[in-house]
Amino acid sequence: MLALKKAKKFNGSILVAQKGNLLLHKGYGNRNFRDGLACDSSSIYQIASVTKPFTAVLALKLAEQKKLSLEDKIEKYYDDFPKASTVTISHLLNHTSGISDHQPDSSEARYDSEEKTFIELLKKRPFDFDPGTSWKYSNSGYILLGYIIEKVSGLTYYDAIIQYVFKPLKMNQSGFDFTALKDKRKAVGYWTFPDHKTDEPAKLIHYSAPAAAGAIYSTTGDLYKFHVGLQSEKLVRASVLENAYTPVIGNYGYGWFVDYFNGRRLVHHSGDIWGFKSEFARVPEDDICIVMLSNIEDEELHGITIKILSILYGLPYQMPAENKVALTQEELKEYEGKYELRPNEFIALTVKNDILQGNGQVLYAQKKDLFMLDNGREQRELTFERNSAGKILGFKFRNGEIETFCKKN
């Protein structure tokens, strides 16, 4: 993690646990760059869409209590909603409802999710597909699910999460109103890694906007308590979680992306909101939990998860790339331009703060005309070619056995 911090690929707090043992739990970098305050194991962050596993568990708990059924049609709650007789709660949970996040009217209040306004706006949007026929990630579907939870529980969504999840698990550092939170452990969010103490923090979004799709703030320790609660069946039965970890279409179950690593089922979710990034990954079979919370929004965290899992399972992994030579601003500017990947598709290289970037990803100088692209999951060398006059003609890279040349326009 120190190498990732040095390469400006991680700033925040991390927890790694296996079979009840905390292998790593600490902070790296600053939770507030202007004041020089360090991240630590108790720093508090917005977790954005990592809220969805909580919303899903709450819905499953209410189903266990017979307060709702996963096969309930939403016409039971909103009888005039389009396709209300075919959209089920199960569809909302696994993003197969077809309910769109598309915003057709520029006058819509994008972040207004007060129930009446939200439902009326949602009713105007065309479905992306017929319910149950395809998959597309939908924050709107989860916000709608939150309102249904309120109707069946008799509580606000927020009070229901507190009663059914936070209190039983003693998640005392978790809540919703991050904007109003007065706590010295609260992290300040940034769009990108600050280069100066005067860099402005990202604007905060009020928790009522993402609501059941992304309202929660928390700590690495509290999210580990959630993992333990799931592993121990303190929240819902193991058989119910088995359904949650079983995708119907694509690789999404109920509140979790479901993949495999080293023959084991890996359930995970990431979160992304202005100024913050989160990653919550679990291997239930081996009781592995990885939590990363960052106050830098443009960081890529899932690739770090894969590296950590590789270490835990004794598999090969790559150290993060870093600059091996220091090129001047003038030297870096030579590489700027558009490079043709394939007909009508280009890679734009730009220089920002003395860093060469390709479509937003950092290129690390290994030597003149040789750079390393590292997206966290894989590394790829880019070799630039010049003509006899020293002018850059393009770059080449290899993908397996195939070498591709991208001509500079």
Please state the three-class secondary structure of 77-88 as a single string. CCCCCCCCCCCE
Residue 190's nearest CA partner among 204, 178, 180, 176 is 204
pLDDT digits (tens, 9 = 90+) for 224-278: 999 999 999 999 999 999 999 999 898 999 999 999 999 999 999 999 999 999 9
Look at residue 322 in the predicted model and tell me its pLDDT: 82
Strand ranges inside 105-232, DSSP E: 217-218
Question: Which element (helix H / strand E) includes 330?
Answer: helix 329-333
Question: Which element (helix H / strand E) includes 51?
Answer: helix 51-64
Q: Which DSSP state fits 190?
A: B
Cα–Cα distance, 78 to 75 (Å, whole number): 5
- The encoded tokens of residue 156 equal 């606000």
Look at residue 102 in the predicted model and tell me its pLDDT: 58
Look at residue 106 in the predicted model and tell me its pLDDT: 38
Task: For residue 226, count other CB atoms closer than 10 A to its CB.
Answer: 25
Residues 216, 222, 223, 226, Cα dihedral to 10°: -100
pTM of the model: 0.82
- Note whether 161 and 229 are within 8 A (CB): no
Residue 290's nearest CA partner among 303, 273, 276, 299 is 303
Q: Is the dihedral of CA 325, 329, 331, 335 positive or negative?
A: positive
Cα–Cα distance, 347 to 337 (Å, whole number): 8
Q: Which portions of the chain are predicted below pLDDT 50?
A: 104-111
Cα–Cα distance, 56 to 142 (Å, whole number): 9
For 277, phi and psi rounded to 5 degrees? -135, 145
- Cα Rg, the chain, nearest whole Å: 23
Phi-psi region of 221 (alpha: psi -120 to 50; beta: other; left: phi over 0): alpha
Look at residue 199 in the predicted model and tell me its pLDDT: 77
Look at residue 303 in the predicted model and tell me its pLDDT: 85
Q: Is the dihedral of CA 363, 365, 368, 371 positive or negative?
A: negative
Distances (CA, A) of 265 to 268, 312, 369, 408: 10, 15, 41, 43
Look at residue 397 in the predicted model and tell me its pLDDT: 93
Residue 231's nearest CA partner among 270, 288, 174, 278 is 288
Look at residue 104 in the predicted model and tell me its pLDDT: 43
- Note whether 186 and 204 are within 8 A (CB): no
